[in-house]
Homo-oligomer: A and B are copies of this chain.
Amino acid sequence: MKATLRDVAERSGFSITTVSHVLNDVPGKRIAPDTRETIRRVADELAYRPNQLAQGLRRQRSGTIGFLADSILTTPHAHKVISGAQDAAAEAGSMLLLVSTDGRPELEERGITAFLDRQVDGIVYAATYHRIVTPPPSLRARPAVLLDARTDAAEYPSAVPDEVGSARTAVAELVRAGHRRIGYLGNVDDIPATAGRLAGYRQALAEAGLPWQPAWEVAEASESTGGYRAARAVLDRPDRPTALFCFNDRMALGAYFAVQDLGLAVALDVSIIGFDDQEIISEGVHPGLTTMRLPHYEMGQWGIRTLLSLIDAPSDGPYDPVHFDCPLVRRASVGSPRG
């Protein structure tokens, strides 16, 4: 059915070895130009494609990378990590074996085992949001990188968003629009983004010489209803801020509903800036939400490239996490304060 090296050899009249040599462009082989041509032609006619199982077995390189995601479900925008990874892998002739553990930790071990059984060249361990993780020891069996995640021991190369810097960028945008009373709708999760974005908010205020008001800084559950409550808490005050920086887009969505319930208008009365750029929200909301885009695609690409070079040239760490900037995506939720 599918043509093999042997078929090409027989049909061209040369040995399997010679065929392999020319098809792989093995350097330092003296092969007659005619031979090269003939072999190439025959291979073409037969639509020959190397069997990667056989190739992998022989070369000890499967051309396959294991991608372990803790969840591709809950946070949709995270799929761009996979997209970036896939594109970078394709560039290098590699492919992704995918396992999503969906928060079931017992699937981690099993997934890695399955990867190892298939002789993956390396593994990327991707979290859905910036987290400190403790991957199973079996991850050590192959070169690995962490995405949106890091360990305390820094034993793997890892990429994470720059929480502090990006939060500063967001608040600076509000300052630039003329706001002097800026609130922060924060979250209560025990994750790096919590402290990071809060710190960025405060730093930006300080840099702009703006007052920090404890009452404008509130923490709630990091989803829509939490955002609603947080926004109400801040906006119900007489000295309410004219702009709100939100921990994420879901909270910003809740803030939209709060603003409307108060008879106010987003951008006109209250400027809002989110975080994540979850397009369903940021583009779906009315007016469009200005927000910080998580650099998922870029991290995915970086992950594979880093992994690939690690495979070619193993090294031992420790590795400082590399921080990725979140670009500001301007839409229509930021205006100038009234009066």
Binding site for B on A (CB under 8 A): 2, 49-54, 56-57, 62-64, 67, 72-73, 76-77, 79-80, 82-83, 86, 90, 95-100, 102, 110, 113-114, 116-119, 223-225, 228, 250, 253-254, 257, 260, 278, 280-281, 283-286
If the complex has contacts A51-B117, A119-B52, are A280 and B225 also in contact, measured as CB distance less than 8 A? no
Within 8 Å by CB of A286, from B102, B254, B284, lies B254
Chain B residues with CB below 8 A from A113, complex form: 49
Q: Tell me which residues across on chain B come within 8 A of A283, comparing CB atoms.
A: 223-224
Question: Known contacts A63-B118, A79-B72, A117-B50: does B97 contact A284 (CB below 8 Å)?
Answer: no
Which residues of chain B come closer than 8 Å to A110, judged between CB atoms? 90
Are A280 and B250 in touch, CB under 8 angstroms? Answer: yes
Q: By the criterion CB–CB under 8 Å, are A52 and B117 in contact?
A: yes
Instruction: Decide: A53 near B49, CB < 8 A? Known: A223-B284, A286-B225.
Output: no
A-B contacts besides A63-B118, A79-B79, 14 pairs, CB < 8 Å: A2-B116, A49-B113, A53-B53, A53-B118, A67-B98, A72-B83, A76-B76, A83-B100, A86-B98, A95-B97, A225-B286, A250-B284, A257-B285, A260-B260
**Residue of A51, A228, A278 contacting most chain B CB atoms (<10 Å):** A51
A76's partner among B79, B116, B118 (CB-CB below 8 A) is B79
Query: How long is the Cα–Cα vector from A280 to B56 in the complex, in angstroms?
Result: 42
Does the CB pair B228–A52 fall under 8 Å?
Answer: no
Q: Which single member of B62, B97, B225, B280 contacts A281 (CB below 8 Å)? A: B280
A231: min CB distance to chain B, Å: 11
What's the nearest-Cβ distance from chain B to residue A289, in Å?
Answer: 11
Specify which chain B residues have a CB less than 8 angstroms from the CB of A225 in the assembled complex.
Answer: 286
Shortest CB distance A84–B (Å): 11
